[in-house]
Amino acid sequence: MLTRERAEEVLRTLAAVPPDEVAGAEGLAPFLKARYAAEGALVEDDAGCEENLLGVTRAASSRFRLPVAYLAAWCLLGIVRPETALSQQGTATTDDDTKPVHLFSYFTQDGEDGLHLAYSHDGVVWKELNDGKPFLAPTWEGKTDQHRQSKMIRDPCIMQGPEGVFHLVWTSSWWDREFGYASSRDLIQWSEPRRIPVMENEPAAKNCWTPALAYDREAGHFLVFWASTVPGRHSPVPTSNREHGLNHRIYFRTTRDFVTFGETRLFFNPDFSVINAHILREKRGDKFYMFVKNENSKPPEKNIRVTCSDRIGGPYDAKVSPPITGEYWAEGPTALEIGRHVYVYFEKYIKRRMGAVRSENMVNWEDVSDQVSFPRGTRMGTAFTVSRAVFEKLHRLGRNPD
């Protein structure tokens, strides 16, 4: 059997897995077995581990407040016996007390007041946290034009890594070759924000917009990707006078710790100007879907497309889908898989409101913009899922309505 120290390490690993990737009790047993069977940590007949796991998990959901995944893992690993766990006294809970919660990181106005968070239980109705006050303020000035600088956190992207730490990247300026970074274990207390220069070897690069994160489990590192224009580098596209000289492509670097980074490389190079890349790992299959904005300005496209790959690091097919958004300008796609639907949220930035589409098959998309609601002033960001314990701590801040 495992030592208690090793079991605690297993639990930390389990806690770091995005909740929507372990689909209830039925998904937890195969996950733990696949992760640890090679060490001899788990065996098929270990006190009927899988049967115990399923039974204890279901019973625990209405008996006490311990996170259900933790309790099930304890029983599976032999730290406590199922009969002992089920005899514990505690506060009765409903199903909602153990379900993970969806969060949305966003900015308001031009990003000058910092990082905001909203939450949702169903992916449709989103409510502000912390009474709408920012969780992290911008701390340095970035270049906005030739004559002015401004502090800002725009396009915030948050991802929880395998070590349980939340990593945040954001657009910190309009015309610098860097983005902002900070980290947190609870989304409340944040590390000192710092600059991450990523296009320093491209002195002609104009910008570094909408950085985003993905985690490559096989390689054990993060992908950090963003949009930049490097003049003369890519096939030209017609542009409006306002966007003259802008022809973006998606670049990336890899990192394990956000201190040391790999070299900057080209990630996605379609035949149009592209920004706002976001990657979704489909739970029901083995595909990775990347949502992007077609940024062409003459004639204007300004819509969301999708492409896919068998590997998170690509390559992604440069022949993207038709627009999945409607007859409006949209940007900043971010996706969640909720039940049988994949929801893609985005900003209708001309109308200054949020929108959404959803699909059951990643081909046919239904516009549900009129069904979703976000806090007033919400602008583009990232949707992600956290444990109930993380959410409860956030929810205690301010005067939240429920």
Residue 149 is predicted with a pLDDT of 74
Residue 286 is predicted with a pLDDT of 82
Residue 5 is predicted with a pLDDT of 53
Residue 136 is predicted with a pLDDT of 97
What domains lie within the chain, and their CATH numbers?
Answer: 4-95 (no CATH), 101-395 (2.120.10.10)
65-89: average pLDDT: 45
Burial of 94 (0-12, 13-18, 19+ CB in 10 A): exposed
Q: How many CB atoms lie within 10 A of CB 310?
A: 10
Q: How far apart are CA 81 and CA 74, in angstroms?
A: 8
Residue 31 is predicted with a pLDDT of 55
SS3 content of the chain, % helix, strand, coil (to 5): 20, 35, 50
Instruction: Quick: pLDDT tens for 195-251.
Output: 999 999 999 999 999 999 999 999 999 999 999 999 999 989 999 999 999 999 999
Residue 144 is predicted with a pLDDT of 74
Q: How far apart are CA 223 and CA 345, in angstroms?
A: 21
Residue 99 is predicted with a pLDDT of 78
Averaged confidence pLDDT in the chain: 83
Q: How far apart are CA 236 and CA 238, in angstroms?
A: 7
Residue 64 is predicted with a pLDDT of 37
Instruction: Quick: pLDDT tens for 3-53.
Output: 445 545 555 555 555 544 544 444 555 555 555 444 444 333 344 444 444
Whether the per-residue pLDDT at 401 is higher than 80: the answer is: no
Q: How far apart are the first and last CA of the chain?
A: 43
Instruction: Quick: pLDDT tens for 324-369.
Output: 999 999 999 999 999 999 999 999 999 999 999 999 999 999 999 9
**100: which 2 tokens?**
């993970």
Calculate the CA 226 to chain-centre distance. Answer: 14
Residue 283 is predicted with a pLDDT of 80
